[in-house]
Structure 1
Amino acid sequence: MTIPTRPTPPANRRYGFDLRSTALFFVLVAVALSVLGLAARMMAGAVERRPAWMFALVVVGVAGIAGLRRRLHLARAARRAAAALDEAARTAADALEAPVTPRQPPAVEVAVDYDALTPEEFEEAIAALCERDGCSAVEVVGGAGDLGADVLAVSPEGSRVVIQCKQYGDSHRVGSQDLQRFGGTCFTVHEADVAVLVTTSEFTAPAVEYAEQCGIVCVDRETLRAWTDGTGPRPWEPAPDGWEGQWGR
């Protein structure tokens, strides 16, 4: 038995004209135009009868739109501020949790070869030691007309420290004449509370005796090395009990 096949409509078949749909479309368009026209007519009449009201309404509308934009801007700014505060709080918490390392004063190298320095560099090195150990107003004033003062400083306790530097070799010891010249100006001219003579050499016995009589601190090579590496006293401090270094004070 043969089954009849259903005819396939052609691909380019066009749909027929639908009068009902077309009429409904035009009716909706006419209604929309009528509503818009009525609204425009009502607004025109309201403007003609109450222009002040319409102006106020427009102003209120514009203000409302501007206020809405401002609120959105403020909301974004508030979110950014909240994020920044949250980040700052986390940073502060991390800083509090981190171990605190005590701040150390700038140190001069312990292995300083003072003999290899020029006289000016030696004065700068002594000034650096004073700054390292907490002195303020440190100033290098050595030179022609210094009247015996090479370094001026104020100790952590507030004492005025006047230092004279003598960069001598081992065979050239500081004698009493050097101490006398320094002693004649350190207190009367420079108004020192603590007068110090620092040398890379040693002091003669008469020089130490004169220093003890005048209250001048003598820092020889050994004492300077101890001051540099932190194992000895600072010149403006009293010598500790049992200290065997040069300390004519």
Structure 2
Amino acid sequence: MTTPARRIRRIDRRRPFDLRATALFFALAALVLAVLGLTVRAAAAAAERRPVWAAVLGLTAAAAVVLAVRRRRRGSRARRAARRAAAALAEGTRTALDALEAPPAGPAAPAGPEPPAAVVDAVDYDALAPDEFEQAVAALCERDGCSRVEVVGGAGDLGADVLAVTPDGRRVVVQCKRYGDTNRVGSEELQRFGGTCYTVHEADVAVVVTTSDFTAPAVEYAERCGIVCLDRQALRAWSEGTGAEPWRPAEPS
């Protein structure tokens, strides 16, 4: 006997049209629009009466929006930074493991003797021209800490070839005499320099440097006037660092 097949009803899940609900929705929408319109109108009126308050409220709202956006960005940045930190930690761990697995290094080779310090060639002052000799004396002044070093020798120099200021602030006036062994600096030259070094150049320290020597009257005049005389030996000692700078006060014997 055959069983009659049942008819399957299709269930229509769509709600039937409800006039009351639709009318209520449109009424609420109209109410919301009316409230929004009244709010906008009131805000516009308040802005006309008190523009400062309106500007402050607008800026506050804009700041709130910016802060919210920044918080979201900071969150994403923090996540990226955390990922980078994790990657760096993993790389450091791998490096440490590789170092532990590497064989130990052998004993260090003994250090050899230190290379000798560079030797500075001595200047042959006799081989220099007069202007080169002035430049060499100026270089010695700069080497020993003088500032504002100038080479002013030439026509109309009034006896001054090199001007400088010592580390303690004294003005040095130097006259350079590039003479041969047989041509010594005499008292007349010292007198001409003594007449200008203090009055014209306002020297605190007056120095005469020569590649030769000084006559006895020249040395006597220099002692009376307070002029420092550097002959060949004193110049060599100053250049090699074994003698004192000419502006250094003489130590009492």
Q: TM exceeds 0.5?
A: yes
Structure 1 pair 226–64 and aligned structure 2 pair: CA distance change class (3 A): same
1:160-239 correspondence to structure 2 within 5 Å: 160-239=171-250
Q: Which of 104, 112, 136 is residue 123 of structure 2 equivalent to?
A: 112
Secondary structure, in 3 states, of the residue corresponding to 1:213?
A: helix
Secondary structure, in 3 states, of the residue corresponding to 1:240?
A: coil
Secondary structure, in 3 states, of the residue corresponding to 2:156?
A: coil
**How far apart, CA to CA, are the structure 1 residues paired with 2:238 and 2:209?**
11
* Number of residues of Structure 1 aligned to a counterpart in Structure 2: 166
1:128 equivalent in structure 2 = 139
**How far apart, CA to CA, are the structure 2 residues paired with 1:61 and 1:185?**
80
What one-letter code is carried by the residue in structure 2 that aligns with 1:170? D
Shift of residue 109 of structure 1? 4.3
Q: Which of 73, 84, 90 is residue 69 of structure 1 equivalent to?
A: 73
**How far apart, CA to CA, are the structure 1 residues paired with 2:81 and 2:148?**
48
What one-letter code is carried by the residue in structure 2 that aligns with 1:131? E
Gaps of 5+ in 1: 1-30, 35-44, 53-59, 84-107, 243-249
**How far does the alpha carbon of each residue in 1:153-191 deviate from its partner, in whole angstroms, 9 at most, with x for none?**
111222111000000111111111111111110011001
**How far apart, CA to CA, are the structure 2 residues paired with 1:71 and 1:109?**
64
What one-letter code is carried by the residue in structure 1 that aligns with 2:71? G
Structure 1 pair 210–69 and aligned structure 2 pair: CA distance change class (3 A): same
**How far apart, CA to CA, are the structure 2 residues paired with 1:62 and 1:142?**
72
**How far apart, CA to CA, are the structure 2 residues paired with 1:181 and 1:145?**
13
Q: Does the aligned pair in 2 maintain the 1:199–1:220 contact within 8 Å? A: yes
**How far apart, CA to CA, are the structure 1 residues paired with 2:159 and 2:248?**
21
Compute the RMSD of aligned alpha carbons.
3.5
**How far apart, CA to CA, are the structure 2 residues paired with 1:206 and 1:219?**
15
2:55 equivalent in structure 1 = none
| Sequence identity (%) | 67
Q: TM-score, normalised by structure 2?
A: 0.57
Q: Does the aligned pair in 2 maintain the 1:161–1:193 contact within 8 Å? A: yes
**How far apart, CA to CA, are the structure 2 residues paired with 1:62 and 1:224?**
76
Structure 1 pair 76–174 and aligned structure 2 pair: CA distance change class (3 A): farther
Shift of residue 65 of structure 1? 5.7
1:24 equivalent in structure 2 = none
**How far apart, CA to CA, are the structure 2 residues paired with 1:239 and 1:63?**
75
Gaps of 5+ in 2: 1-12, 15-24, 37-63, 89-118
What one-letter code is carried by the residue in structure 2 that aligns with 1:119? P
Structure 1 pair 68–226 and aligned structure 2 pair: CA distance change class (3 A): same
Aligned structure 1 segments of 4 or more residues deviating by more than 4 angstroms: 60-66, 74-80
What one-letter code is carried by the residue in structure 1 that aligns with 2:178? Q
Shift of residue 129 of structure 1? 0.9
Shift of residue 141 of structure 1? 0.9
**How far apart, CA to CA, are the structure 1 residues paired with 2:136 and 2:174?**
12
What one-letter code is carried by the residue in structure 1 that aligns with 2:251? P
**How far apart, CA to CA, are the structure 2 residues paired with 1:198 and 1:224?**
7
**How far apart, CA to CA, are the structure 1 residues paired with 2:133 and 2:229?**
16
Shift of residue 77 of structure 1? 8.0
